A and B are shown apart, each in its own frame.
Chain A
Amino acid sequence: MSLIETASLTKDYGPVKALAGLDLRVEPGIIGLVGANGAGKSTLLKILLGLLAPTSGSASVLGMDIGAEAGEIRKVVGYMPEHDCLPPDVGATEFVTHMARISGLPRTAARERTAEVLRHVGLYEERYRQIGGYSTGMKQRVKLAQALAHDPKLLLLDEPTNGLDPGGRDEMLDLIKRTGTDFGISVVVASHLLGEIEQVCTYLLAIDAGRLLQSAPISTFTQRTPVVAVEVEEGADRLAAALSGRGFQARQDGACVLLALEDESLYDAIRDSVAELSLPLVRIQQERRRLEDIFRDDAPAAGGVQ
């Protein structure tokens, strides 16, 4: 059973298309949903949660249709919104207990779960104090705790590191990673920061302007790719021409020449060409593609349905 599946999911806000025929299918895990601000991340999460109705198309969460089985979906998902969502004049314990009960947990179970999740997110003595007096980092923890209170099967986190300092950011990311790996809960993390996604996620969904840009396991973005970069201090254009002349795919990129690695003879060709042209060689390196590359204009075309 796939975690999330959508078929030509579209959402219009008047003339603005927040989602434009999104097709995707992801398996359980820690999923990074990445895109620029306004790419449609929050809209997608809200549609999956039933907060927004799609203009057209269909979607399912954990095999349940978002239209017909919205109530069933809401029982097994936890949602951490991007914005503030905590009343200031109650304590964290009281608030999270209340939310656990709204999720259907009996009174004593709600209290036990609250104590447990607040401990997991790292709130101790301060949990009886009023939320209004909390720091941003503590509020983010309470927001995560209320999403975890009813032990959901899927957590949807919208920009969970918003407003956190670098230390708080790392702690939150660590918490998300533990939730996904140790707790065995699937997580969707929406973020505009690729670095964060790279740090915690096992799978990446990249959307831009309401369309799917990439959908693949994180490892495929960071694994070694068969590209060799040759950096020279000068004459990169001559080197590229020489290597093309020898029948290799070569592309000049600044002071580098990028070559498709098909077999080991490439290295000999590079050595010979550099020697013939007497170029000052800086490095020869098999390149690691970075996640950012997928947002470059010259990046390979969108992967489409995985």
Chain B
Amino acid sequence: MNAGNPSAASSPAGSIYDLGYRHYEGKRHGRWFAAWSLYVDSLRGIWGFGRPVSAKAAPFILAGLYALPAVIVLAFSASLSKSIASGATNPADLPNYANYFGGIGTFIVLFLVAQAPEVVCRDQRYQVLPLYFTRAMGRSDYAMARLLSLATALFLVLMVPVIALFIGDILMGTDAFKAVGSEWPKALPSIPSNLLIAASMASIALALSSYSPRRAYAAVGVLAYFLLVEFVPIVIYGIGHEAGAKWVDVLPLLTPITGLTRANDWFFGTPIPADFPSSIGAGAYVLAGLVSTLLFTGILVWRYRRIAA
């Protein structure tokens, strides 16, 4: 906002030509505009815009890391297409739309550990919340605007490699126009799948972060949740499965990243790996992702309804 009108205000002469206080007679928007303004500001904040340069480092580096394999494929698409044609490289071994999240989805956790606390902790730490809650905005509006901004940022991070792979695949083909026609149906399931991943992971990370005014504690909390809830159910499932227990089959549904990987499989129609219980279909993981999103969004909204301001 440094482009603000300097006008007479910054010059010493400003006091001489002081027009006195003028009332504002213009348009006043309501809560939706307020929520939209917060959403936009929050989205800018996640990427460090309007903040010092140091605030831009973490989000861009972490988003870049997630996109790196796809960018490498894009960079070497010419030589890769030759190597595929000669049979030296199996295309299934390369990153593609369907296996990308399953391959390096854990990098998304790092992005959330770094940026989710950024979204909500500052306002508690610096006690800015009363200023929001006494304006044309409700507490739930605040929580939802913050959540949507993080989910949007996450969706962008998830979609960059999809776009890179798409461009790479078009370049690999001989006929670009024909390639676009044959490629986009393959890439299309990425959109609903990444929407679910972004909504689900953002809601978990933000709900947890909202319970601490300190960034560091929030970051540790988010990391601990994704690590513990990822591995504990899988370990228990492994033990129970060997013991022949049937009820342990539902445990993989609880895992955040593996669960979303299976949901991603459902969107792309990839068969579930053999080491997963066959009694739970891939569709159940999609449902589990939706339920988790609703649950953590509820926790987040509840937190802001109760928080003292």
Contacts and interface: CB of A to CB of B under 8 A. Distances in A.
Nearest to A146: B131
Interface stretch (B34-42, B57-65, B79-87, B256-264): B34-42
B110 to A, nearest CB: 22
Given A83-B127, A85-B130, A89-B51, A151 B136 contact: no
A124 B134 contact: no
B138 A111 contact: no
Interface string B125-141: 01110111111111000
Contact of A93 (B1, B41, B133, B137): B1
Contacts of B309: 51
B177 interface: no
Interface string A81-108: 1011111111101100111011111100
B31 interface: yes
Interface stretch (A25-33, A70-78, A197-205, A225-233): A70-78
Contact of A151 (B24, B38, B131, B137): B24
Contact of B134 (A51, A88, A114): A51
A75 B38 CA distance: 16
Interface in B42-60: 50-52, 55
Contacts of B27: 105-106, 109
A292 interface: no
Contacts of A257: none
Contact of B5 (A94, A102, A112): A112
| Range class of the B interface residue count | 35 or more
A94 B131 CA distance: 15
Interface in B1-41: 1-2, 4-7, 9-10, 14, 20-24, 26-31, 33-34, 37-38, 41
Nearest to A119: B9
A267 interface: no
B134 A105 contact: no
Given A81-B127, A109-B26, A118-B9, A128 B134 contact: no
Contacts of B137: 74, 102
Contact of B126 (A75, A84, A116, A151): A84
A93 B4 contact: yes
B258 to A, nearest CB: 37
Contacts of A146: 131
Contacts of A101: 33-34, 37, 41
A87 B24 contact: no
A213 to B, nearest CB: 27
Contacts of B136: 71, 74-75, 102-104
A74 B134 contact: yes
Contacts of B30: 75, 104
Nearest to B132: A102
A69 to B, nearest CB: 13
Nearest to B1: A94
B2 A93 contact: yes
B214 interface: no
B130 A81 contact: yes
Contacts of B4: 93, 97, 111, 114-115
Nearest to B37: A101
B122 interface: yes
Contacts of B6: 115
Contacts of A98: 1, 37, 41
Given A79-B131, A90-B50, A124-B10, A105 B26 contact: yes
B126 A88 contact: yes
Given A51-B134, A74-B135, A90-B51, A124 B2 contact: no
A40 B34 CA distance: 31
Contacts of A177: none
A297 interface: no
A81 B34 CA distance: 20
A120 B126 contact: no
Nearest to B6: A115
A184 B23 CA distance: 9
A103 to B, nearest CB: 5
A119 B20 CA distance: 10
Contacts of B131: 79, 81, 85, 99, 102, 146
Interface of B: 1-2, 4-7, 9-10, 14, 20-24, 26-31, 33-34, 37-38, 41, 50-52, 55, 122-123, 126-128, 130-138, 309
Given A91-B1, A102-B137, 15 more contacts: A50-B134, A74-B135, A75-B28, A87-B128, A88-B126, A90-B51, A97-B1, A99-B131, A102-B38, A105-B26, A105-B29, A119-B14, A128-B2, A146-B131, A150-B135
Query: Can you list the 3 inter-chain pairs with the closest CB atoms, starting with the nearest?
Result: A151-B24, A104-B29, A101-B37
23 contacts: A50-B134, A51-B130, A51-B309, A71-B138, A75-B28, A77-B134, A85-B128, A90-B51, A93-B1, A98-B1, A98-B41, A99-B131, A102-B132, A103-B28, A104-B30, A111-B1, A115-B5, A115-B6, A119-B9, A124-B10, A124-B14, A183-B21, A183-B23
Interface of A: 49-51, 71, 74-75, 77, 79, 81, 83-91, 93-94, 97-99, 101-106, 109, 111-116, 118-120, 124-125, 128, 146, 150-151, 178-179, 182-184
